[in-house]
Structures are given as C-alpha cells and as structure tokens.
Structure 1
C-alpha cells in the first residue's frame, strides 16, 4: 500500500516525506521556494513576486561556461534527490529539448515520489529552436500529463493545451519585461519605416521567404505612391549563412529596402531600434507566442505577422496578418498597421500611447505575480491532499 502523501514508500507511522510536506503547507506564509527551469531568464524574473517567492539559482551544468543554465540540472532525477529539502516545487518554462521524453518521465516520477509539485507553463506548443516537432510534442505531453498545475499565456493557447491533456489550464498573460523604466518613443521619419529583425536565423524564422515577400510588397506600395522604406536586420553571427546570403541578394538593388548586419543588440538598443519603426514585421514560419509581440506592444509599435500559433491572441488590436509569398497581403497589412496616428514614431500620440500602456502594464504585472503565487499555493495544497 502506497503512502497517501505520495512519498513513494509504503505506509508508515511517521513518514519523513509526509512530515516535510505538512511543514511546507504549515508555513505557506513564508516564501515559496521555487526551482525554476530556468531561473535566470527575464520572463521568470518578471513573473516572480520577490516577497512571496524565492527562486533558487540555476545549478551550473558541469563544464558549462559561467551563466549557461542548459542543459537544466533541475530536471535530472539525481539533482532532485540531492536537493529535495531546498525547494518546495519545480516550475518548468524552457529547456525541455535538452532531454528525451523518457528522461522527462523519470523527472516527473521522481518529483511525485519526493512529494514535490510540478508546475509547467506551456510557452511552446511548437519549439522555435527545432524544425521537427515530434519529440517536442511527446515531451510536452509527458510534462503536461504529470504536472500538478498547467499555465498558458493566452486563452487560445490554453484551449490547445486542454485539447492535448484534457485537464484544467490557468491562463496568465505574458507580462511586460521592461519593468517601469521609461520607454523610447522613436524618431520621426519622412517615410513610413517598416522593420524586420531576423536575429540569428533560428529554425522558426523564414528569413528568405519573408524578405522576398517584403521586397515585392514595398515595390508595389511605392509604385502606388506610398512613401515606404523597409529595413531587414540580421545578427553578424547567424545559424544559416546560406539563408543570410540569399536575404542580402534579394534586397540588393531593391528600391526602398536595406539590409543591416551587426552585433546582437542589447535590450536597450533593441527597444530603441523597434521604437523607430512604424510597424514591425515578425517573420515566423512556426511558433506559439512571441516575446517580440509583447515588446512591440509596450512600445506602441503595431506588428505585421504571419498567422502562426497564438500570436494574434496576445494583443489582437495590434496584430495585422500576412502570408509569406503573398506581397498583396503584406502590403495591405502594412497600410492597415500604420493607418493610426499613434503608430508614428516620435509623435506626441505615440508618446501618450506608450505612457498609457506603461501604466496598464504596471497594474497587470502585479496581477500576473499574484496569479503565479496562487497557482503555487494551490499546487502545494493539492499535493498534501493527494
């Protein structure tokens, strides 16, 4: 007969794990000790109420350079066994591609045996770092089935997760990652300025297809008399050098389209680059949600995006869809996105809208943090009652 407290042992008078579990619940006024996967990530920092939650530092992987958290050691059964007294629950966000579905099954089984809840935020129904998704979907199913609590970022993503596991999902929106700092509002331009940042051309970025579509859309708009210019930016170091060369060739000689190559922009430089845009094109071939959509929302820069995943549900009024290979749809989306005066960089309307959104996001951030604390408390209480 298994212990009713899920400590993984047979019934006994004063089980060690049961006593520890009761102590955790008895001290719920104390900060919840969370082993996050990962801990050192801007999203994880943003959602954490520092007064009520204490994040454990990321355990350094053997031989990894300083600051590297992957492969996440928290997901290893041997780490969980050795450090079970140091955390109350595990919250998984990113990095599950480091392990196979069978290895993650062992992670879940170990947590159940130790009596430690698992919280899983399903950021990625499709992994942006991968092309083939079969293994990721299998890993997702393992964690979603074994988790004590599931979180999604939008209502539509939550519905998709419920369709997979037939379990309740708490929807908590993606918060701002800018804190309460003053946001840049951009500089005015004579022409509408549209930008697309390919970053390092990771697998879910359709750099060539998006650039080809953008070149034709800008040509069509300019032929109709619209004053439009586009900038395509890539990091100096990319994962696909052949695609980078094709992007440069597509833009070569294209009227109104320029290509930038440079070092990876830090957070402030990226915000300034985006703030100078009338609209930002998101070049995804697959994905779920987009942190870039959240940053553009904070800066009052409308997005023009392929209709993949659940990006449209993040900020619907700022979302303008197009299809790769269809320049007419992209030209229409650009004009729709830039029709409102608040989208003009450097304008008083843009500044006022950025400030309005900053105030709203400040209140939302408090709600997001409180929602996560509530999920943690429920998971801990449910674990005791199991």
Structure 2
C-alpha cells in the first residue's frame, strides 16, 4: 500500500473513511450524481491531448501507464463510459494494471447495445473481457442484470438511475390547448432512426386525428447532424402533413431542453436500438409520459403508467401507445402535472440518497477487501 493511499484511507468525512476514485469519465452528469457522497473524492478527468476543454474522450485514464503513474492518487477505478475507444486487449491491460497497483475495479453496465455505434459486436466483445474481471458490476434494471447473469454468470447489483433534472431547477409550465406529442432526434446519432420514427409519427398522428383526437406532433432535430441524408428524409416525410411540424435548432442548453420537453403531453423515443435511456429519466422527472420503442429495457426503468411500449416503425402500435398515455397522463401546465412532479422529486430525493450511499459503501468495502 502506498503512503498516499494509506493516509487517504485514514481520513474521515462525517464518520466515514474517505476514498479517492478514478471514475471514467469523472465529468459526466451521471457520475457526478452517484458520487456525491462527501467521503468520495473523484479525480478530475485528465486532459485529452489536442482536445477542447471539457472533452473527456477517449479517456486518458483508461491506460495502463497512466494507472501505474497515478497509483498513489486513488484507491479504486470505476468504469462507466468510453470503452468503445479501445480494444478488448487494451481494456484487459487496464484492469490488470489497476489490480497490480491495488485498485479494485467497478464497472457500471449502462449499455448492452451501444447507442453511439451502428454495430455493437465489437463493444460486446469488450464486455466479454470487462465483466468477468471487474470486482463489482452494477447496472440500472433487473432485466439488464438477468442478461449479465445469463451471459457472463455474474450477479450485477441493480442501482436505479438518479434524477436528471436538478432538484432546484425551475420546472417550466407552458400552457397548450391541443395535446402535443413529439420526438427529439438531436444530431441523429447511430441509434436514432429518424426516418422510421418520422413515418410512424405521421401515421399515428393521422390515425388519432381521424379518430377525433386533436393531437399535434412536433419533430425536433439539431441544425448540425451526423446523417444529412436521414435529416433530409425526415423533412420530406413530414412536409405539409396536417398536424405535424419539424423544428431545427442549435443544441439546446438545459433550460431550453426542459422547456421543450415540458410542452409535451407525450415524448416519443426515436431509438432503433439501446438499453437504458437518460432522456426517459429526464421526462419522468418533468412529468412527461414516454412512448418507448420495444427495444432494450426502457420500459423497465419505471414500471408505471408513464411509459408505454410500441413496435418500432409501426404507426398503429404507436397510436395505441399514445392513446393510452394521453388518457392516463396529466396535461402540461395542469395542477395534476405539478403535483406529479412534486411527488417524483420527493421520491428521487430518497432514491438518489440511497444510490449515493450505496456507491460510497461499495467503494469502501472493495478497498478494504483488496487491502487485506
């Protein structure tokens, strides 16, 4: 044990031993949320050579040499995101290096099917190396934990996603007459199927309006996208369709995003593949119902009437989900939605505190076990 690590272990914060953690990446909002315990010190992300400030990828901390050079600065490695930048052999070397300097390794499985990749087969090969070697595996839903058990014969601890909406954020209360459904395609990353989602929305909107539901639909996407052909097809599909509008915009800051989502009666997730969704969590915080494609485990994140599945690309299935959610969900700017948001904030305060405490306890336990 190094002197620095030993002295760090003797310090206490609020009666708990202080721990120093390398989290990959340290600056991600999810990581900041789950490591908010005062006894947990997270090292800042090392600067990426040649990259702008705030860019953490590819993460320099996932390097055997960096780990060896910083052995005295931390006591544990927790990997969340960024593994797709490396080969499986490189990741094995990182875990071996962490163990060699006395660091336990924790891995949170956010994704089984990577949202930033069109083909996740190489990413799954990384999981084949990381999950068996990690000292502890966490994930967000019991459905994902079952996959870990079945494929890798590991027991993953299920730790729910923390709140995305800050507890002190002002929740917009926009008033609308007609029900508004919408989707945010953002920059059309690989797991976003813009054209298929647009067609389903056009179809479902027509079905609902034909049935006497005066619904309006809004499709939003960034003015700079990764797939310009897909963007052009979305614009063509939605052009001159009654009740359907398309809005392009620069990347929204947090306040603008909260306002855009708060206007919706239902948010439609546009994913062709995925596992869990932070976007869904933000909608839940804002009291906005979610129509989620039946891929991954989106409907396992919140088992209540706020999430309803549909068959991707199927306008009839989407219309059924929208009808259910419109009937079951409070309208924007209503007292019922304000009450729902307040109840969820109170629930998040309890569950988030438990998540933070769970991480701190896990870190201390693993560090103590490895020191024996």
TM-score (norm 1): 0.92
2:110 paired residue number: 123
Per-residue CA distance 1:146-179 (angstroms, 9 max, x = gap):
1111111111111112222212211110010223
Say whether residues 1:138 and 2:128 are aligned partners.
no
Identify the match of residue 326 of structure 2 among 321, 328, 338. 338
Identify the match of residue 300 of structure 2 among 313, 320, 324. 313
Partner SS for 2:356: helix
2 CA distance for matches of 1:103 and 1:55?
Answer: 23
Report how far residue 224 of structure 1 moved.
1.4
Say whether residues 1:246 and 2:233 are aligned partners.
yes
2 CA distance for matches of 1:110 and 1:352?
Answer: 50
Identify the match of residue 354 of structure 2 among 357, 364, 367. 367
| Maintained 8 Å contact 1:200/1:237 | yes
| Maintained 8 Å contact 1:200/1:239 | yes
Q: Name stretches of at least 5 consecutive residues in structure 1 with no aligned partner.
A: 1-16
Say whether residues 1:189 and 2:179 are aligned partners.
no
| Maintained 8 Å contact 1:238/1:244 | yes
Question: Rg: which structure is higher?
Answer: 1
Say whether residues 1:201 and 2:188 are aligned partners.
yes
Report how far residue 274 of structure 1 moved.
0.5
Q: Name stretches of at least 5 consecutive residues in structure 2 with no aligned partner.
A: none
Per-residue CA distance 1:7-64 (angstroms, 9 max, x = gap):
xxxxxxxxxx488776666557332101110001111111113411011000012111
Partner SS for 1:195: strand
Report how far residue 113 of structure 1 moved.
1.3
Question: Structure 1 stretch 158-167 or stretch 122-131: which is displaced more?
Answer: 158-167
Pairwise mapping of residues 1-386 of structure 1 onto structure 2 (< 5 A)? Answer: 17=1, 29-317=16-304, 318-340=306-328, 342-385=329-372
1 CA distance for matches of 2:112 and 2:60?
Answer: 22
Partner SS for 1:283: coil
Q: Which runs of 4+ in 1 moved over 3 A?
A: 17-30
TM-score (norm 2): 0.95
Q: Assess, with a 3 A threshold, how the Cα gap between structure 1 residues 52 and 77 changes in structure 2: closer, same or farther.
A: same
Partner SS for 2:232: helix
1 CA distance for matches of 2:35 and 2:54?
Answer: 20
Per-residue CA distance 1:119-152 (angstroms, 9 max, x = gap):
1100011110001111100111211111111111
1 CA distance for matches of 2:330 and 2:180?
Answer: 11
| Maintained 8 Å contact 1:279/1:343 | no
2 CA distance for matches of 1:204 and 1:152?
Answer: 20
Question: Structure 1 stretch 20-29 or stretch 224-233: which is displaced more?
Answer: 20-29
Q: Name the Cα RMSD after superposition.
A: 1.6
1 CA distance for matches of 2:323 and 2:97?
Answer: 54
Report how far residue 296 of structure 1 moved.
0.5
Question: Structure 1 stretch 76-85 or stretch 179-188: which is displaced more?
Answer: 179-188
2 CA distance for matches of 1:113 and 1:136?
Answer: 25
